[in-house]
Amino acid sequence: MYAQLVESGKAETSEQDVAFQKRIDDGIRIEPKDWMPEGYRKTLIRQIGQHAHSEIVGQLPEGNWITRAPTLQRKAILLAKVQDEAGHGLYLYCAAETLGISRDEMTEQLLAGKAKYSSIFNYPTLTWADIGAIGWLVDGAAIMNQVPLQRCSYGPYSRAMIRICKEESFHQRQGFDIMRALVEGTEDQKAMAQDALNRWWWPSLMMFGPSDKDSVHSEQSMRWGIKQNTNDELRQKFVDQTVPQAEWLGLTVPDSELSWNEEKGGYDFGEPDWNEFMEVIKGNGPCNRERLEARQKAWDDGAWFREGLMAHAEKQSAPIAAE
């Protein structure tokens, strides 16, 4: 998901650890100043950091179409949507900071390639229909993952997720609405919507991370209440919810293995290309370089502003010398 491959620390079994685990099992939230195992702290910093970076980097593919939105209303809506994503990044950075890492440290880790962000944002937005597909599929997949995170054992993360979830359904609906307008338009417009679905379907399924049998970090995170569902459970839920929507739109999901399984009450579907996923995570996706360059440029170009305002604030608050 927005945190697809988070390494989780090992739990130890001191008396404190046992009391900590009991607190989690009792459903009592952990707050910043409470004692916590180092592994719990580190896992959360990595996961919330990845999530925050995903919100921020995620603005780039959509930002690409703000100036070219087909109408003024679509432009205003997209601007509001992208602004929300900036807000999501800020809520999450603040939640991570309560664990003892600074905002600047997190930014530096991102720019140095040490901190990851979701693989999905390394794909290009080639047409306006991609903006529809992102809202519908990418925000849709994000919601699937974020709803259970509202119950995360760490208070600040859980509260940030509650705020975020309140804002997400607008994102998914505006995307679906773009797709709907396209499929109800000309043949070319409908073909554009189909092309976007073809390109975004598999990367959207990859957002949930590798299959549970290959996901080494899941178990401890589940025990700590950082993760509530397995990757495969969420992926299945997403497919079951989205396929009928694609059918309603009159679009074809690009998976020849897709079929309804009456027995399990869900769809059977094909495997995403996990080699592609690993390559994108490693930095070899179509837009990895471009995305990091854009973040680096924003960081460098904003330096004079950050420093200037700080210098001004310090000058204003300095005691006035006696005359």
Partner 1 sequence: MSKEWPLWEVFIRGQHGLSHRHVGSLHAPDAEMAMKNARDVYTRRNEGVSIWVVESAKITASNPDEAGAMFEPSESKVYRHPTFFDIPKEVGAM
Q: Which of 224, 165, 180, 182 is nearest to 24 (CA)?
A: 224
294 is a contact residue toward partner 1 (CB under 8 A): no
CB 112 within 8 A of CB 179: no
Candidate segments 23-31, 80-88, 205-213, 281-289, binder of Fe ion by CB under 5 A: 80-88
Stretch that binds Fe ion, among 152-160, 164-172, 206-214, 252-260 (CB under 5 A): 164-172
Helices (H), the chain: 15-25, 38-57, 59-63, 72-97, 103-111, 128-133, 139-149, 155-183, 187-206, 218-223, 231-249, 274-279, 288-301, 303-317
- Site for Fe ion contains 235 (CB under 5 A): no
* Pick 44 or 183: Cβ nearer partner 1: 44
Long-range contacts, stretch 289-294, CB < 8 angstroms, 24+ apart: 290/60, 291/57, 291/60, 291/117, 291/121, 291/122, 292/110, 292/111, 292/113, 294/60
Q: 48 — alpha (psi -120 to 50), left (phi > 0) or beta? A: alpha
Size of the site for partner 1 (CB under 8 A): 29
User: With binding defined as CB under 8 A, does residue 84 bind partner 1?
Assistant: yes
Residue 185 carries which DSSP code? S
| Near Fe ion in 83-102, by CB under 5 A | 85, 88
Q: Does 254 bind partner 1 (CB under 8 A)?
A: no
* Interface of this chain with Fe ion, residues 113 to 152, rule: CB under 5 A: 139
Question: Residue from 116, 171, 199, 235 that binds Fe ion (CB under 5 A)?
Answer: 171
- Site size for Fe ion (CB under 5 A): 5
Q: Which stretch binds partner 1 (CB under 8 A): 15-23, 99-107, 131-139, 273-281?
A: 99-107
How crowded is residue 173: how many other Cβ atoms within 10 Å of its Cβ?
15
Report if residue 35 touches partner 1, rule: CB under 8 A. yes
From candidates 65, 91, 200, 277, binder to partner 1 by CB under 8 A: 91
In this structure, how many other beta carbons lie within 10 angstroms of the beta carbon of residue 102? Answer: 11
Q: Which of 26, 275, 303, 319 binds partner 1 (CB under 8 A)?
A: 303
Minimum CB separation from partner 1 for residue 174, in Å?
Answer: 14
Q: Per CB under 8 A, does 163 bind partner 1? A: yes
Residues in CB range of 323: below 8 A, 6 or more apart: none
Residues that bind partner 1 (CB under 8 A): 31, 33-35, 80, 83-84, 87, 90-91, 94, 97, 102-104, 159-160, 163, 166-167, 303, 306-307, 309-310, 312-313, 316-317
